[in-house]
Amino acid sequence: MPTETIDSAYAFDNTAADAVPQLRALEEFLDPITMRRLAPPVLAPAAHCWEVGAGGGSVARGLAWAVGVEGRVLATDIDTARLTPMANLDVRRHDVRTDLPPGEAFDLVHARLVLLHLPERRRVLRALVGALAPGGWLVVEEFDCTAPLRVLTAPNDDAAKLFGQVTDAMLGILQGHGADLAWAQDVHGEMARVGLVDVDTVTHAESWAGGSSGASLYETNSRQLEPELRDAGFTPGQLEVFRKLLRDPAFAVMSYQFVSTRGRREPR
């Protein structure tokens, strides 16, 4: 039986110009949800935190502010160009797939939209659990991309159809790079299996109108993945129609479900 070829390289280039609006749109949508999930009792003053795959650094900066001068935050990523150290915020280049976890024990480890993309996600999750101090929390947040995106309004049926075709193709490209589109559904069970306690999960979805920062994510994603979309058969004209649709206030679509799961290591 032929085997599928998986390219485990991350599909999105954080050094690309389109990464800036992509990261900002994600931060605007997700940061309020994330910081509510990291609020006490998960996060306490003077805590020692590890932000995995820190991206643009917004969550790491929020953690640094929350833990205060007596706390410490380590922000890691395979590319740290968009991360800036602060008095209580350290930045380190780190590939969570291949590098050993930092030697410290952390009161909080947080990873958002990271493990979804890694074929080694279950092994990485166990490594993150191993980096927790007794009583420490692991928070893993992912998009659940299994359900078709529900178009709420569109200028016409052809526009809605094109949106579905392009977004389906983008998800296929992510899978080709090793992403597991259903991983968000598995995180709760994986945390329980590795022995974490007080595991809980919440989900969030909302409508994104054309012209909103949420809708712009689809546009920036399509620009980042354009060579592979072209290889999949989409013409420049089709991609331009897709991008104009995402700026059209007559268009609206539901976001992917954002799934936030957290669990705690047993205190000694």
Residue 96: closest CA among 112, 117, 77, 71: 77
Backbone angles phi, psi at 119, to 5 degrees: -60, -25
What's the pLDDT score for residue 13? 63
Contact, 108 vs 63, CB < 8 A?
yes
**In-domain check, residue 231:** yes
**In-domain check, residue 11:** no
CATH of the domain at 178: 3.40.50.150
pLDDT averaged over consecutive 10-residue blocks of the chain (268 residues)? 42 67 91 97 96 96 97 96 95 96 94 96 97 98 94 97 97 95 98 98 97 94 96 97 97 96 94
What are the residue ranges of helices labelled H in 113-212?
A: 121-130, 157-176, 183-193
Buried b or exposed e, range 198-232, using 16+ CB within 10 angstroms? ebebeebeeebbbebebbbbbbbbbbbbeebbeee
What's the pLDDT score for residue 6? 41
d(CA 62, CA 142): 19
**In-domain check, residue 8:** no
What's the pLDDT score for residue 22? 87
**Residues facing residue 50 across a β-bridge:** 74, 109
d(CA 43, CA 129): 16
**In-domain check, residue 69:** yes
**In-domain check, residue 43:** yes
In this structure, the number of other CB atoms found within 10 A of the CB of residue 186 comes to 18
**In-domain check, residue 9:** no
Residue 163: closest CA among 110, 239, 214: 239
Contact, 86 vs 66, CB < 8 A?
no
**In-domain check, residue 10:** no
What's the pLDDT score for residue 17? 65
In this structure, the number of other CB atoms found within 10 A of the CB of residue 177 comes to 18
What's the pLDDT score for residue 207? 97
Q: pTM higher than 0.85 for the full model?
A: yes
**In-domain check, residue 35:** yes
Say how many Å lie between the first and final Cα of the chain, rounded. Answer: 49
Expressed as residue numbers, the domain containing 191 is: 19-264
- What lies within 8 Å, CB to CB, of 233 at 6+ separation is none
d(CA 265, CA 263): 7
* Domain count along the chain: 1
